[in-house]
Structure 1
């Protein structure tokens, strides 16, 4: 049963401990009114996830794997034109970035974001160029579709795409 409603509810459950912990902190860890703290935790988790939902729903073609996620990957054709365009991203970045690693077959840099930075990794194999992006910290939490927007821009600017972006980002370390 893979649908967006299930994913939404899973993300609410993931945000609950954070919201519940914040509520406990504000109440100075007083467990006398624990029912209220649990309700506020769930309402807060629902509110945060619902706020994220609008940014992801802007993309009607978004797949289940990419919905409410911050990890995305893209597989491009291994051509000199695609590799050159991806190298130009480092030379002329659209956002503030810092190069972490640069070799003949791998590019890795950090993109400055408002709340949490992202790591963009480009790895060139013999048959494809794999582009993956994820949040630097807490990559299991949604990021208001910032990383999805970035990977879509890369896909549109590339010469030819072999597949659509998916969250099943391959480990290329």
Structure 2
């Protein structure tokens, strides 16, 4: 696995970075151009290889009705050649969790994952795997996908400050 760098950028993407993200998404056919133009404002973290953007995470706020209040919902896309590392995903989620908590803990309650791809959904079916990492199972989304969350005020598992990976 190549050496990758992470950069938290929520609300601070440069025009050049926005263009690069939109190009990456549309080239990989992740989302259509119009959706990419809207979604680029949600980019929270960049995954970089030699200063090239090879992945991003995005967040948007929404309500988690059974738990109450507002949470950040997180998505992630990584170019195929750079995928395959649970450690990379964990580091991106840790970065998002701690940076969003520092800035937005008064407005939001935590971070939610909607497990969109098949490989991650299989991990979610192993509730022990997810719970050990600090997630609480919420239920299914309207799209029928698993939702897992972690609260800013009670970080567990990989989200505790003493469990941050370098």
Please indicate, yes or no, whether the TM-score normalized by the shorter chain is above 0.5: no
> TM-score, length-normalised on structure 2?
0.27
- Structure holding more strand per residue: 2
Question: Which structure carries more relative contact order (alpha carbon 8 Å, separation 6+)?
Answer: 1
- Normalising by structure 1, report the TM-score: 0.26
Pick the structure with greater CA Rg.
1
